Amino acid sequence: MDALAPSPSLTVPALRALTVRMATPRGFCAGVDRAIQIVERAIERFGAPVYVRHEIVHNKHVVDRLKGLGAVFVKDLDECPDDRPVVFSAHGVPKSVPATARARQLLFLDATCPLVSKVHVEAERHHAQGKHILLIGHAGHPEVVGTLGQLPEGAISLIETVEDAATVQRPGTMPLAYATQTTLSLDDTAEILAVLKARFPELPDPHKEDICYATTNRQEAVKQLADGSDLVLVVGSRNSSNSVRLVEVALRAGARDARLIDDATQIDWSWFDGVQVVGLTAGASAPEPLVQSVVSAIQARFAVTLANDPGEPETVTFKLPRALTA
288 is known as an active-site residue: no
Q: Which of 122, 143, 248, 312 is catalytic?
A: 143
Element (H, E) at 51: strand 50-53
Q: How many CB atoms lie within 10 A of CB 221?
A: 23
Contacts of 15 (CB under 8 A, 6+ apart): 301, 302, 303
* Contact yes or no for 38/87 (Cβ under 8 A): yes
Q: Could you tell me if 288 and 28 are in contact, meaning their C-beta atoms sit under 8 angstroms apart?
A: yes
- Distance of alpha carbon 65 from alpha carbon 163, whole angstroms: 41
- Alpha-carbon gap, residue 240 to 139, rounded angstroms: 14
Query: What is the residue type of 301?
Result: R
Helices (H), the chain: 30-46, 60-69, 96-103, 114-128, 142-148, 162-167, 186-199, 213-226, 241-252, 288-299, 322-325
Other Cβ atoms less than 10 A from the Cβ of 94: the count is: 17
Question: Residue length, the chain?
Answer: 326
Sign of dihedral through CA atoms 279, 23, 289, 115? negative
**Which one, of 315, 280, 273, lies nearest residue 295 by Cα?**
280
Question: How far is Cα 172 from Cα 155, in angstroms, rounded to an integer?
Answer: 13
Beta bridge partners of 20: 278, 306
Active-site residues, by number, are 143
